[in-house]
Amino acid sequence: MRYNSIASKKSVRMFYNQAKHDLIDLLYPTYCVVCGSGGGHMVCGKCLSSIAATVEPSIFHRKGGVSDVRWIEPSFESARAAGAYMGTIKHLVLGLKNSASSCAEPLALLMVVAAGNDPAYISPDDVCFVPSTREKKRERGFNPAEILARRIAAHIGKPISGALCKARKTRDQDELSLSGRLTNLEGAFRVKGNLCPGSRVLLVDDVFTTGATVDACSRALLAGGAREVNVIVAARTPLLSK
C-alpha cells in the first residue's frame, strides 16, 4: 500500500509539472528574440550562428597585452566575453537577471564560442561561478552565474564547483562609482571547499563591468589553492571612467 501511495503521489506531481509547463507554453509561446520565428527557442539556430560569427572575446590577457582592465592589476590570467552588453546579448542577460532561465542556454553557447579552442577555457580543472546573495537568489529562483556555469561545464565536459561563497555582506555594485566598486569587494569572497589544490579554474559570471567582482573572486580562489584563474562572461559593458 505504501508503494502504491508513493507511486500515486509521484504521478500526480509529474502530471502537475507537465500541466504547468503546457500552460506556460500556451500563455507565453517562445519566439526567437532576434527574428521572431517560432520553434520554442529564445534564439533560433540561424540567428545564434549569426551572432556567434561576430564574437570578439578578449577583454584581458596577461601575456597578449590586450586589456580593458586599466584600473587594477588583475589576479586572473585572462578574461573573455561572448560580446558587448548591447543588442540581443543584452536582451538575454537582462532576461536571465529577471528570472528567465531559458535565456541561459543561448548565452552559454555563445560563451563556449568565445572560449574557442583555448585549453584554459575548454580544459580547466574546475568550473566555478561568482556566488550570489541569498536575497537575490531567492528573488530570482537561481543565481545567473551559476546556471551559466552549469551549462558551460556540461558543454565542455568539466566538473562544476561551488567552491566560492560570500565572506561578508557588500553593497550592490550597480550603486557605486568605479573607486567604490574596487573597494567594496575587497576580501568579500572566500573558498569554502571543493577546490582541487593547484587547479586551473574557469570562473563564470554574467557581466563584466570594472572587473572588480571577478578579480575579488579570483584572489579568493588563488588564496584557496588554485594555480590559475581565467574568466568568461556573457557580456562586457562600456568602461567606467570614474
* CATH number of the domain to which 191 belongs: 3.40.50
pLDDT score at 148 = 97
Does residue 129 fall inside a structural domain? yes
pLDDT in tens, 153-166: 999 999 999 999 98
Contact between residue 90 and residue 106 where contact means Cβ atoms under 8 Å apart: no
Using H for helix, E for strand and C for coil, what is the string for 119-168?
HHHHCCCEEEECCCCHHHHHHHCCCHHHHHHHHHHHHHCCCECCCEEECC
Does residue 109 fall inside a structural domain? yes
Does residue 127 fall inside a structural domain? yes
Does residue 102 fall inside a structural domain? yes
Q: Dihedral of the CA atoms 38, 41, 45, 50 (nearest 10)? A: 100
Does residue 74 fall inside a structural domain? yes
Does residue 40 fall inside a structural domain? no
Give residue 145's domain range: 57-236
Does residue 20 fall inside a structural domain? no
Q: Which candidate, 149, 211, 218, places its Cα nearest to that of 182?
A: 211
User: What is the tally of structural domains in the chain?
Assistant: 1
Does residue 110 fall inside a structural domain? yes
pLDDT in tens, 173-229: 777 676 777 777 788 899 987 788 899 999 999 999 888 899 999 999 999 999 999
Q: Which candidate, 74, 78, 76, 73, places its Cα nearest to that of 59?
A: 78
pLDDT in tens, 15-67: 555 555 455 444 455 678 778 777 667 788 888 888 888 787 777 787 766 55
pLDDT score at 158 = 95
Give the predicted TM-score (pTM) of the model.
0.81
Contact between residue 88 and residue 51 where contact means Cβ atoms under 8 Å apart: yes
pLDDT score at 15 = 58
